[in-house]
Amino acid sequence: MMNLIAKPSKANIKTYVPIGLFFVSLSFLDVFVNAFFNLNLMGFLPSKLNYFLPLILGFIGFYLIRIEFSGVRFLDVLNKNINSNNLNAILTLFTIFIIIKSIPPMLDWFILEANFAGNSKDDCTGDGACWVFIKVWFNRFMYGLYPDAEQWRINTAFLILFAIVGISFFVSEKLKKYFILFLVFVFPFLGIKLISGGSFGLEYVESAAWGGLSLTFIISAFAILFCFPIGVILALGRRSSLPAIKYISIGFIELWRGVPLITVLFMSAVMFPMFLPDGTFIDKLIRVLIAITLFEAAYMAEVVRGGLQALPKGQYEAAKSLGMGYWRMNALIILPQALKLVIPGIANTLLALVKDTPLIFVVGLMELAGMIGLAKTNPKWLGMAMEGYVFAGLVFWVICYAMSRYSQNLEKKLSTER
């Protein structure tokens, strides 16, 4: 009898642990059966008690198995990580209950009750998601309104890109340089020519027809390409000793950073044409690209400035004492080190850029999110917002998560080299 009310300790481990584990598993079993089979095991109890029973059982169970230095490895790990005190035990129980409870409805919606086969909304009979919607519109979500017959051009452009990037990982250092130069200075313009057409016997496809995920990639790629050098120059300008250049840079950076992107896009759409001579027309896509590039360049500049400021003064002095001029010093000594310091910041800016691309809906261009907006208002496909946005969210999430993981790896790799 004394043994049963004593505090759980190594002395009574033989009685307490089995009872505790039994209580804990009973509480999980109750929630599990309730969630998956809609059965209430403890239905005979009064309703309030029945409701809190899993929590009470689990709490008692966790209390009983909380034995310090039990000598059993499994028990020690368990106690240390999820059961270190009463509060942690309750938090653990809540977390596990919520996870168990939310699995069946999620599973139902995503897979079990969802519809995969068919070609129209009428084929969606289940309560779950209507993935038919995504299947039917998939082509549009990827290529926008780009003509079906010409889509091989987009595919080719991206395939060449991936091929070059892939090959450049395996070639020698010397060749790699030329691959990168080609990628940065030649390929973007070749690719855009291939996609827009108008020469070499390729049919011209106006930029208003571009869209979907491919447009997201095109805009992101070009904006990244241009915003990086502009950002570096602005950062150098802000740190310049020449007052005029310094203050112009500061003004430029702070202007873009102080306003939301959406107003910048508005400006490029309605205000910018007013500033051009009557009759000149700049393509909408190009205007948007300029707007996004300048906007993100300002953020890039601040990130690069952080790196420049973090470098010890000795680096500048050493470079100067070797007789280097301003540009040589920055290109060979300062920037390589400063940029390495701010890789996380650069990655974050590029991530923000990719996440900002859906905003081009403001000027009527439709990338992935915009195409979903278009598809869900199609009279034949009303009520498909959930499927569409979950799909778009997943696609963007995969892209952004991959980018952030890559930058973390890059950071690790470069920091060990130092």
Give CA–CA dist 418/79, Å, rounded: 40
List strand residue ranges (DSSP E) for 285-395, in order. 366-367
Q: Which DSSP letter does residue 130 get? A: B
Of 42 and 363, CB closest to another protein: 363
Reported as type and span, the H/E element at residue 85 is none
Give the interface size with another protein as a residue count (CB under 8 A).
56
CB of 115 to another protein, least distance (A): 17
Compute the residue count for the chain: 418
* Chain residues 182-241 in contact with another protein, contact rule CB under 8 A: 241
Return d(Cα 90, Cα 93) in angstroms, integer: 5
262 sits near another protein (criterion: CB under 8 A): yes
Determine, following the binding rule CB under 8 A, whether residue 126 of this chain makes contact with another protein: no
Query: Looking at beta carbons only, is 58 or 191 nearer to another protein?
Result: 58
Min dist CB 10 to another protein, Å, is 22
8 A C-beta contact, residue 246 and residue 238: yes
- Using the structure block, give the residue that is written with the tokens 């939310």: 102
Q: Looking at 245, 250, 324, 410, which residue binds another protein (CB under 8 A)? A: 245
Residue 263 interacts with another protein (CB under 8 A): yes or no: yes
Q: Which residues contact 399 (CB under 8 A, 6 or more apart)?
A: 354
**CA–CA dist 174, 219 (Å, integer):** 30
Q: Provide the minimum distance between the beta carbon of 375 and another protein in the complex, in angstroms, as a whole number.
A: 12
Between 195 and 215, name the residue whose CB sits nearer to another protein: 215
Q: Which is nearer to another protein, 217 or 396 (CB)?
A: 396
Q: How far is the CB of 407 from another protein (least distance, A)?
A: 12
Structural tokens at position 376: 């869900």
Among 19, 209, 267, 324, binds another protein (CB under 8 A): 267
Other CB atoms within 10 Å distance of the CB of residue 251: 10
Stretch near another protein under the rule CB under 8 A, chosen from 7-15, 21-29, 85-93, 227-235 = 85-93
Provide the b/e sequence for 357-378 (b: ≥16 CB within 10 Å): bbbbbbbebbbbbbbbbbbbee
| Footprint on residues 268-297 left by another protein (CB under 8 A) | 270-271, 274-278
Nearer to another protein, 165 or 270 (CB): 270
Under the binding rule (CB under 8 A), the answer on residue 397 touching another protein is: yes
Q: Looking at 244, 314, 379, 418, which residue binds another protein (CB under 8 A)?
A: 244
3-state DSSP percent of the chain in helix, strand and coil, to 5: 80, 0, 20
Sign of CA dihedral 253, 299, 228, 276: negative
In the list 186, 255, 310, 332, the residue contacting another protein (rule: CB under 8 A) is 255
Least distance (Å) between residue 260 CB and another protein: 4
Closest CA to 4 of 56, 64, 55, 79: 64
Residues 6+ apart with CB under 8 A from 225: 184, 188
Binding residue for another protein, selected from 260, 325, 336, 364, defined by CB under 8 A: 260
The answer to the question of residue 248 lying near another protein (CB under 8 A) is: yes
Q: Which residues have CB under 8 Å from 113's CB, separation 6+?
A: 126, 127, 128, 129
Q: Which amino acid is at 65?
A: I
CB of 367 to another protein, least distance (A): 10
Binding residue (CB under 8 A) for another protein from 46, 201, 258, 312 = 258
Q: How far is the CB of 404 from another protein (least distance, A)?
A: 7
The helix-helix angle for 86-107 and 73-82 (nearest 10°) equals: 90
The interface with another protein within residues 356-395 (CB under 8 A) comprises: 356-359, 361-362, 369, 372-373, 376, 385-386, 389-390, 392-393
Question: What Cα–Cα distance (Å) separates residue 210 from each residue in 1, 96, 218, 341?
Answer: 79, 46, 10, 37
Q: Is residue 82 within the footprint of another protein (CB under 8 A)?
A: yes
Residue with smaller CB distance to another protein, 20 or 191: 20
Q: How far is the CB of 180 from another protein (least distance, A)?
A: 27
Q: Give the side-chain half-sphere CA count within 13 A for 327.
A: 1
CB of 87 to another protein, least distance (A): 9
Residues engaged in binding another protein (CB under 8 A)? 80-82, 84, 88, 91-92, 95-96, 241-245, 248, 255, 257-263, 266-267, 270-271, 274-278, 351, 354-359, 361-362, 369, 372-373, 376, 385-386, 389-390, 392-393, 396-397, 400-401, 404
